């Protein structure tokens, strides 16, 4: 891919701080590990920045493509309907163009985390940590 890549990590949002903390920390981890990527966050509900504010926060960064990644475990109404609608992305076509700094920027919508050996590995790690904690 030519150009500069942005990742918009999307969270559900919550009255509790935990969802926001996880999305923020995961975004920070991506930014530290892949330093050529511009990482921003946005929340569907209850927390700030909103998804639109998250998109707007790429202004001035020079990104040519933004990938919106739902930091959700699985698909559901939010990832299949609410978020695509907010992003202006249709269900059959997972890509659109947005204006940023007067330029056209490609916006691509990714799959949520989903089932993956990395999730299995992490769930097993949390199990062992709980066991150690109780030992």
Residue 118 touching a copy of itself (CB under 8 A): yes
What helix, strand, coil percent values describe the chain, rounded to 5?
40, 25, 40
Catalytic residue among 12, 16, 18, 78: 12
Rounded distance, CA 83 to CA 110, Å? 11
Contact 47, 20 (CB under 8 A): yes
For residue 21, the surrounding DSSP H or E stretch is helix 18-33
Closer by beta carbon to a copy of itself, 15 or else 99: 15
Smallest gap from residue 35 Cβ to a copy of itself (A):
12
The site for a copy of itself (CB under 8 A) is made up of 1, 5, 7, 9, 14, 16, 18-19, 21-22, 25-26, 29-30, 33-34, 65, 67, 69, 71-77, 80, 94-95, 106, 108-127, 129-131, 133-135
For the annotated catalytic residues, the residue numbers are 12
């Amino acid at each position: 891919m030519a150009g500069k890549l942005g990742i918009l990590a999307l969270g559900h949002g919550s009255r509790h701080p935990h969802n926001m903390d996880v999305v923020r920390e995961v975004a920070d981890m991506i930014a530290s590990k892949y330093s050529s990527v511009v990482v921003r966050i946005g929340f569907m509900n209850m927390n700030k920045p909103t998804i639109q504010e998250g998109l707007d926060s790429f202004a001035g960064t020079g990104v040519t493509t933004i990938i919106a990644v739902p930091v959700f475990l699985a698909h559901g109404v939010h990832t299949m309907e609410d978020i695509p609608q907010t992003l202006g992305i249709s269900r059959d076509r997972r890509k659109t163009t947005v204006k940023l700094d007067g330029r056209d920027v490609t916006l691509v919508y990714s799959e949520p985390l989903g089932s993956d050996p990395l999730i299995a590995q992490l769930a097993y790690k949390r199990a062992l940590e709980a066991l150690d904690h109780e030992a």
